[in-house]
């Protein structure tokens, strides 16, 4: 009798938990397909699905907005002040373009700023040389935030510079993602802390607020020195970007350096993340106007699962829907949802030159297979998909006509759209747009164009596998 009571109680508790999860889903779901899949699983296999939902099922990053808007009065004031600033983004001959750019400002809750100087960094060697130089020249503080940090030659060089700058009195704040940097030795972090650096993990901090949110990642990669020079792009801190890892082909990636007031936007994005991870708001410099040698207009666009809207999805849709004659996107992961794919098709149908560049050799077999399943839809409407041949292409770049370009961390997949904290820089600077155009053309010269036949001529088992894997897209 006692055993039966425990069995009944356990079953009731599991189904009550399942109902609570369903209640949460109905209040917060962002895609009907994902909601239906979870609900079916919770009703049919609650013992398995309830713990799985608690681990990876949430689509909002709880507590972050409250932390950034209510956790500290000084942080709130800084965010509000910068958000309310405006700059001239009016194009005298194109009012539509002004509206298009204003949408991006609203998404990122940051303004376009003038008086910047942007430099495109086309590979790991150029990027690390620039990062090392900026850190060596820092006089007050260094802010780092990277998804993946390794303790290899690059990682050790970074650590050596930081320890030397700490000894010179420069303050260092080091933020990393605990999942992306899971292989980073604890001694690396302990030695940095011992040298005086402030070290925090985006996942380990604020455990009470962080619980049941392990499916989210801080995928941002940025560096700020003294509030006057900043870096953002796709490059993490590892030797793979230099092509020096034995038995591994080099990673092709892109970063950029920014000098001027737009660095304030990078610094604010870092500050929000640091405040979340540590409940601290460091005293930093907020007047970068000493170093404004250029005239580039730049927007810093942070996106993530703490936003009220799907800001990353809306960013891509804004770019796709407003492209007029050219839309080139480079992304290592191409698993678009229905709305993104339909927007790409419509762009191609209205005559836009739509090109998607992905790697030939993906670092994820599953994602590589899923990309094949889009070939028919793409080919039928004129979308051209290219596979980059030499090494692994990891860059995240968007080129819209000859009007603006974006370099950052966001991919064309569900994880970037809904689960990752991402960040990009967007600029209308003609010299930068031209450099991106040249860079992408050089990359396309190292690609092979895929066709519908690459999919249709494969075995039925291969095609079924690709279609089945595509169903898992919302979980990637």
Catalytic machinery residues: 219, 221, 226, 394, 396, 401
Nearest in space to 136 (alpha carbons), one of 98, 107, 163, 103: 163
Nearest in space to 123 (alpha carbons), one of 328, 460, 397, 466: 397
Both structure tokens of 45: 């296999």
User: Mapping DSSP to helix (H, G, I), strand (E, B) and coil, where does residue 218 land?
Assistant: strand
CA distance 67 to 49: 30
Let me know: does 388 contact 358? Beta carbons within 8 Å.
yes
Let me know: does 304 contact 68? Beta carbons within 8 Å.
no
Both structure tokens of 257: 């350096």
Q: Where are the alpha helices (DSSP H) in 202-310?
A: 207-210, 263-278
Q: How many CA atoms lie within 13 A of 468 on its CB side?
A: 6
| Stated length of the chain | 476
CB atoms within 10 A of CB 50: 21
CA distance 424 to 396: 9
Let me know: does 138 contact 225? Beta carbons within 8 Å.
yes
Query: 345-350 long-range contacts, Cβ below 8 Å, gap at least 24?
Result: 345/377, 345/378, 345/381, 345/383, 346/320, 346/321, 347/320, 347/321, 347/323, 348/381, 348/382, 348/383, 349/381, 349/382
Nearest in space to 260 (alpha carbons), one of 133, 407, 112, 105: 112
CA distance 235 to 123: 9
Let me know: does 166 contact 255? Beta carbons within 8 Å.
no
> 56-92 burial, b if ≥16 CB within 10 A, otherwise e?
ebbbbbbbbbebbeebbeebeebbeebeeeeeebeee
Listed in sequence order, the residues at least 6 apart from 382 whose beta carbon sits closer than 8 Å to its beta carbon are 348, 349, 354
Let me know: does 454 contact 375? Beta carbons within 8 Å.
yes
């Amino acid at each position: 009798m006692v055993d039966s009571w425990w069995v009944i109680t356990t079953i009731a508790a599991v189904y009550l938990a399942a109902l609570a999860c369903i209640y949460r889903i109905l209040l917060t779901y962002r895609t009907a397909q994902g909601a239906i899949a979870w609900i079916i699983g919770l009703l049919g296999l609650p013992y398995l699905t309830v713990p799985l939902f608690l681990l990876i099922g949430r689509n909002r990053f709880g507590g972050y907005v409250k932390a950034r808007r209510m956790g500290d009065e000084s942080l709130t004031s800084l965010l509000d002040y910068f958000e309310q600033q405006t700059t001239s983004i009016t194009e005298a001959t194109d009012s539509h373009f002004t509206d298009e750019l204003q949408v991006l400002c609203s998404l990122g809750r940051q303004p376009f700023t003038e008086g910047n100087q942007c430099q495109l960094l086309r590979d790991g060697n150029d990027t690390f040389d620039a990062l090392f130089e900026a850190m060596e020249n820092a006089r007050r503080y260094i802010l780092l935030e990277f998804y993946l940090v390794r303790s290899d030659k690059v990682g050790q060089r970074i650590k050596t510079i930081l320890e030397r700058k700490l000894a010179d009195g420069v303050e260092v704040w080091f933020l990393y993602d605990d999942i992306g940097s899971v292989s980073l030795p604890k001694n690396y972090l302990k030695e940095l802390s011992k040298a005086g650096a402030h070290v925090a993990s985006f996942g380990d901090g604020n455990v009470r607020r962080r619980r049941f949110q392990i499916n989210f990642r801080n995928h941002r990669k940025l560096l700020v020195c003294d509030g006057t020079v900043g870096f953002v792009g796709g490059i993490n801190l590892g030797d793979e970007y230099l092509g020096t890892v034995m038995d591994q082909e080099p990673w092709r990636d892109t970063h950029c350096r920014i000098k001027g007031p737009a660095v304030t936007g990078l610094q604010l994005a870092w500050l929000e993340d640091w405040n979340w991870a540590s409940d601290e708001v460091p005293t930093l410099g907020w007047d970068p106007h000493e170093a404004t040698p250029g005239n580039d207009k730049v927007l810093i666009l942070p996106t993530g699962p703490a936003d009220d809207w799907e800001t990353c999805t809306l960013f891509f849709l804004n770019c796709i829907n407003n492209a007029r004659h050219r839309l080139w996107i480079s992304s290592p992961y191409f698993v678009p949802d229905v709305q993104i794919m339909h927007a790409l098709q419509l762009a191609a149908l209205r005559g836009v030159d739509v090109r998607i560049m992905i790697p030939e050799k993906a670092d994820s077999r599953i994602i590589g297979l899923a990309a094949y399943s889009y070939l028919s839809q793409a080919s039928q409407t004129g979308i051209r998909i290219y596979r980059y041949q030499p090494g692994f292409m990891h860059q995240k770049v968007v080129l819209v006509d000859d009007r603006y370009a974006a370099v950052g961390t966001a991919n064309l997949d569900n994880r970037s759209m809904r689960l990752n904290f991402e960040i990009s820089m967007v600029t209308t600077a003609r010299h930068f747009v031209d450099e991106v155009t040249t860079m992408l053309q050089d990359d396309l010269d190292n690609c092979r164009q895929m066709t519908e036949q690459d999919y249709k001529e494969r075995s039925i088992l291969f095609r079924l596998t690709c279609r089945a894997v595509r169903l898992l897209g919302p979980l990637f």
